[in-house]
């Protein structure tokens, strides 16, 4: 659809129930976040690391029995040196992730599996949330959120994201989305010109999942803050402006929610 020179694409393929194909080993990229965070926290110490760890372990506690043997868990965390030094934390993370994925059996780590999209999102978003809340156990909430966001920024910079020359390349991609992004949004994408584009989101599966936590400030830090550094990684001249998000409790994400502009 085009109007007054503006190109518009509406995405209305949201589905409450959709599946994501993955494998336990591939999904355990959540452990990469934990590994990076521990390294960051070593380089940028927080007060009472022992209290943070205790709070995190409490959040990770699960009544469900671990579907994997101790040897299998050790194998999953062995490639992460910081976690390997703390087997109790490593095991707690694996057990919680499997519980959040709602797996009632123990597939081989490399075997392809299909999980509900919302369970897939819980499997990493909730771990991020538990981590951020544990930081808040040792410092004021605002500082804890800022500290956690610096971790997210640092991890984002460590990733290899596709480079983009024009901001217009960012939009009109959800129609080809795969994995957890498929059937995950009701939104309107638009391109004003090559230098300006954006997206209004009326429904988002990330936001729906995070509503379960009833903690919008931390939900934003967990799911939405990432986009700003990701924009800069795709092109240093990109600028993301955002007025509001669904995770914060607003009825839609931003007036011009994801507007990239070249500097």
Angle between helices 141-157 and 226-234 (to 10 degrees): 30
Chain position carrying tokens 């402006």: 241
Model confidence, pTM: 0.88
Q: For 165-181, what is the mean pLDDT?
A: 66
Position with higher pLDDT, 11 vs 201: 201
Residue 2: its pLDDT value, please? 47
Listing DSSP states for the chain in one string gives: -EETTEEEEEE----SS-EEEEEHHHHTTHHHHHHHHHHHHHHS--S-HHHHHHHHHHHH--SSPPSS-HHHHHHHHTT-HHHHT-HHHHHHHHHHHHHHTT-SS---TTSEEEEEHHHHHHHHHHHHHHHHHHHTTTS-HHHHHHHHHHHHHHHHHTS-PPP-SSGGGTSS-GGG--GGGTT-EEEEEEEEETTEEEEEEEEEHHHHHHGGGT-HHHHHHHHTTHHHHHHHHH-TTEEEE-S--TTTT-SSBTTTTTEEEE-
What is the pLDDT of the chain when averaged over all its residues? Answer: 83
pLDDT in tens, 79-136: 899 999 999 999 899 889 888 888 766 667 778 888 888 999 999 999 999 999 999 9
Residue 57: its pLDDT value, please? 97
Q: How confident is the model at residue 70 (pLDDT cuts 50, 70, 90)?
A: confident
pLDDT(188) > 80: yes
| d(C-alpha 125, C-alpha 27), whole Å | 12
Q: How confident is the model at residue 196 (pLDDT cuts 50, 70, 90)?
A: confident
């Amino acid at each position: 659809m085009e109007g007054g020179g503006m190109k518009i694409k509406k995405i209305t393929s949201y589905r409450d129930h959709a599946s994501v194909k993955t494998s336990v080993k591939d999904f355990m990229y959540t452990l990469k976040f934990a590994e990076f965070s521990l390294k960051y926290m070593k380089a940028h110490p927080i007060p009472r690391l022992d209290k943070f760890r205790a709070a995190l372990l409490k959040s990770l506690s699960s009544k469900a029995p671990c579907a994997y043997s101790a040897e299998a868990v050790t194998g999953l965390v062995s490639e992460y040196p910081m976690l390997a030094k703390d087997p109790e934390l490593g095991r707690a993370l694996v057990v919680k992730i499997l519980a959040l994925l709602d797996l009632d059996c123990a597939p081989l780590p490399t075997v392809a599996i299909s999980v509900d999209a919302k369970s897939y999102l819980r499997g990493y978003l909730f771990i991020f949330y538990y981590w951020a809340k544990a930081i808040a156990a040792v410092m004021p909430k605002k500082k804890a959120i800022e500290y956690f966001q610096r971790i997210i920024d640092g991890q984002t910079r460590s990733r290899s994201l596709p480079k983009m020359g024009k901001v217009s390349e960012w939009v009109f991609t959800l129609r080809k989305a795969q994995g957890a992004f498929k059937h995950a949004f009701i939104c309107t994408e638009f391109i004003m010109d090559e230098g300006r584009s954006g997206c209004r989101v009326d429904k988002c599966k990330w936001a729906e999942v995070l509503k379960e936590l009833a903690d919008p400030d931390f939900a934003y830090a967990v799911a939405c803050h990432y986009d700003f550094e990701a924009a800069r990684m795709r092109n240093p001249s990109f600028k993301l402006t955002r007025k509001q998000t669904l995770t914060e409790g607003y009825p839609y994400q931003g007036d011009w929610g994801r507007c990239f502009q070249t500097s």
